Amino acid sequence: MHERIKQSFGKQGLMETLKAKLTEIKRGQVKITCKFSEALTQQHGFFHAGVVTSIVDSACGYAALTMMPDNAEVLTIEFKINFMKPAKTDKLIAIGKVLQSGKTLTVCEGYIYDSKEEKLIAKMTATMIAIQQ
């Protein structure tokens, strides 16, 4: 599973564009980090909400995949995210965690922290679907 997730992550052109890194994969939980750069900003010079969302969506998707059968693919059906603090940090840490996994649907929670993993910048709830290949 680890190998499959690493390979899949490696194929995501956007993750390379954002220079995001897959730093942890365990059953039900995946962590992705992303260093600050001016290429990733909104108009005030902080991380753009879109970067925050992109990496936490990927973290939730792969967390869901860790609970699915080997031949399954995962797709995001929908998510909701609350932005609670400015994304003003030198590195974003996104953690996706499975809250409920079923045969078809998986519900994940995503957390975005600052580089010290102390300040909760945003919180996501995502619904994922398993696609049998």
Site residues for a copy of itself per CB under 8 A? 8-9, 11-18, 37-45, 48-51, 53-55, 57-58, 75-85, 99-100, 104-105, 107, 120, 123, 125, 127, 129
- CB of 86: closest distance to a copy of itself in angstroms? 8
Q: Of 132, 125, 53, nearest to 94 (Cα)?
A: 53
- CB of 115: closest distance to a copy of itself in angstroms? 19
Structure tokens at 18: 């954002």
- CB of 26: closest distance to a copy of itself in angstroms? 20
Nearer to a copy of itself, 23 or 100 (CB): 100
Residue indicated by tokens 């932005």: 83
Nearer to a copy of itself, 54 or 66 (CB): 54
Nearer to a copy of itself, 46 or 115 (CB): 46
- CB of 114: closest distance to a copy of itself in angstroms? 14
Taking residue 44's Cβ as centre, other Cβ atoms within 10 Å add up to: 9
Nearer to a copy of itself, 53 or 89 (CB): 53
